[in-house]
Amino acid sequence: MKKILSILAIALIALAVKAQEKSPAFIPQPESVVTKEGSFLLSSNTTVYVPTKFKSDFQPYIGEKLLNDTGIKFQVKSGTRTPASNYILFDLTKDKSIAKEGYQLDVSSQSIIIKANTYAGLFYGFQTLRQTIPVNTESFELPCLVVKDHPRFEWRGMMLDVSRHFQSKEWVKKQIDIFAAYKMNKMHWHLTDDQGWRIEIDKYPNLTKKGAWRADRSGIAWWSRELASPEEPKTIGGFYTKEDIKEVIEYARVRNVEIIPEIDVPGHSKALIASYPHLCCVDSANFEVATGGKAPDNALCAGKETTYEFLDNVLTEVAELFPSEYLHIGGDECNKTNWKKCPLCQQVMKDNDLKDEEELQSYFIQRINKLVTSKGKTMIGWDEILSGKGAQGATIMAWRRNKYTPHIDAPKGGYPTIQASYNHSYIAQVQGPTDMEPEGPKVVLPLWKVYSYEPIPEELTAAEAKLVKGTEACLWGEFTPTESHSEYMLYPRSFANAEVAWSQPELKDWARFQGALEAHFPRLDRDKINYSTSMYTVYAPFAINQLKNEAIVYLETEMVGYDIYYTLNGDEPTTDASKYEGVFKTKPRTLLKAGLFDKKGNLLGKVTEVRLK
């Protein structure tokens, strides 16, 4: 009997493996995927039917994407289907068993039916369908399967910083298109900072006339750049007109992406202060837009009523422009040095019985919160707004970790919280060995670490955990001067974040995700998306044992299922070189070269080169 059960178990495992191999490579991983026999032939004879309610949005979008993915121009109609077979039907249902952004995708040999009870659900069902379409082929046979799916979190965000380095409207739209394809639904737009003001404000034209431009320091390390002088030409920068922003918002709306603007105050405001110096505490500051990391005197004066009047007018225009229910006001990293010596700030502290400058910041944030609320918006702030007396009613974006615990404190304090962990989600950090990557913070955030993130802290109760709205990956712009470099930092790590935000924890599997990612690379190539292959890099930590005059070497990579080959004689590694089997010893000062290879003998990624000294 035991032998029969053992044989049966082996057979079931074999069937499961076979089914997994047959299943398309999805990112993010759906809740349930059941494969069936047969396939659906996607061809010029296929007709697509969309709900009349969504005709104006869906018809052009679906036609555009299917043409991009197949080269075929499909008939996309609205209303009731007429053919008996070979059709794709978007079925807007009232099935309450399907979650708000959830969907059901049923691919049979005769039809494809996507069911959902919301626009978002139909949209995401289509994205899953697109991932079943083969790449680089002339015949498009889609495997028969049934997918049932819904997101884990309502907030699946990406932040783009266009203040440090301005990026074009067209590039921003391209990224929104990619985010949406991987079921991300929030784009946090960091529009203002020390190095540039990027949004047109009618009442204060100097914000873009002066605040959007800075002196050129290209080629000089970000944190080593000298301050600008008034006489220098200001040639680096740019800004979005209100019409530009409306265009981006509409583009995102069709793709179910909500655009959340950030106006960063009271710190990170050098571009604002350079444009309107009277908002600063001091009269003797350098009133030029910051050229790089150095930005002294960049905090707005918390003691002047004109500061709040100014921000009220700015936030009014921003709120009118963006339909999002949220408005992000920054609130992070405020240098309070000038507040300590400003008579007006000190008087406000005295008048309001504030014990220190931390409570003065809380006073500032609470006043801004009232302004935001008066405009029908919910304020979001970085977790520093929790200091002092906090800001009840606001949503917290928890980024700090290590000695700070806002990811725990905010939900325990009753705040809706978005997890944007510096340790797991700040993808401006390099993604491979620092000496093999472009300039960036000297911290490595590899792909696997982004993927391994769990946004719900164990310390939270079930009720507190419900206050975690989701997660967000942040691409700060200090070290991404070009659009190509920005994409290199975004992809594929943003896809890892997409799965963290969408898929249930028990569905996550690094080996499966790795395989799915590699299957998606041809799609990225087809769509001219620049991406990093740093995940294939070999790390080569070593130690020198002076007692025995030897180097002890350990080689490692984040990818699984591949082999490392290395040389010690200066030759480029191939599969004819030494295969890494474990820690080894060699002579000091030896030149080590190592690479990761697939089973066909192809080098993956770059060769790591290290002098063992």
Mean pLDDT split into 10-residue runs, the chain, 613 residues: 42 40 86 97 96 96 98 93 89 94 98 97 98 95 98 98 98 98 98 98 98 97 96 98 98 98 98 98 94 96 98 98 98 97 98 96 97 98 94 96 96 98 98 95 96 98 98 98 98 98 98 98 98 98 97 97 97 98 98 97 97 96
* Nearest in space to 194 (alpha carbons), one of 164, 159, 236: 164
pLDDT tens readout for residues 192-207: 999 999 999 999 999 9
What DSSP state is assigned to residue 597? E
Per the residue annotation, which of 91, 106, 193, 464 is the catalytic one? 193
Cis before 492? omega within 30: yes
Could you please report the per-residue DSSP string of 36-93? EEEEEEE-TT-EEEE-GGGHHHHHHHHHHHHHHHHS---EEEESS---SSSEEEEEE-
For residue 333, indicate whether it is catalytic: yes
* Nearest in space to 339 (alpha carbons), one of 327, 320, 356: 356
Could you please report the per-residue DSSP string of 449-504? HHHT---S-TTS-HHHHTTEEEEEEEE-STT--SHHHHHHHHTTHHHHHHHHHHS-
Per the residue annotation, which of 154, 243, 309, 333 is the catalytic one? 333
What are the b/e assignments for 36-56, b being 16+ CB within 10 Å? Answer: eeebbebeeebbbbbbeebee
Query: Apex CA 559: angle with CA 558 and CA 565, to 5°?
Result: 95
Say if residue 310 is exposed, middle or buried (CB neighbours under 10 Å; 0-12, 13-18, 19+): buried
Does this model's pTM top 0.85? yes
Q: Where in the chain is the domain with CATH 3.20.20.80?
A: 155-394+468-527
Q: For residue 101, what are the CA distances in angstroms to 136, 171, 228? A: 31, 27, 49
Number of Cβ atoms within 10 Å of the Cβ of 80: 8
Whether domain 537-611 has CATH 1.10.10: the reply is: no
What's residue 113's pLDDT? 97
What's residue 19's pLDDT? 42
Q: Where in the chain is the domain with CATH 3.30.379.10?
A: 23-149
Question: If residue 586 lies in a helix (H) or strand (E), which one and from where to where?
Answer: strand 584-586
23-149 belongs to which homologous superfamily?
Chitobiase/beta-hexosaminidase domain 2-like (3.30.379.10)
Residue partners of 363: CB distance under 8 A and separation at least 6: 302, 348, 352, 354, 388, 389
Cα(203)–Cα(188) distance, rounded to whole angstroms? 24
Number of Cβ atoms within 10 Å of the Cβ of 585: 11
What's residue 18's pLDDT? 44
Distance of CA 390 to the CA centre of its chain: 27
* Tokens 């220190």, residue located: 356
Cα(200)–Cα(568) distance, rounded to whole angstroms? 58
Q: What is the CATH number of domain 155-394+468-527?
A: 3.20.20.80
What's residue 23's pLDDT? 77
Q: Where in the chain is the domain with CATH 2.60.40?
A: 537-611
Per the residue annotation, which of 150, 188, 190, 268 is the catalytic one? 268
Cα(123)–Cα(183) distance, rounded to whole angstroms? 9
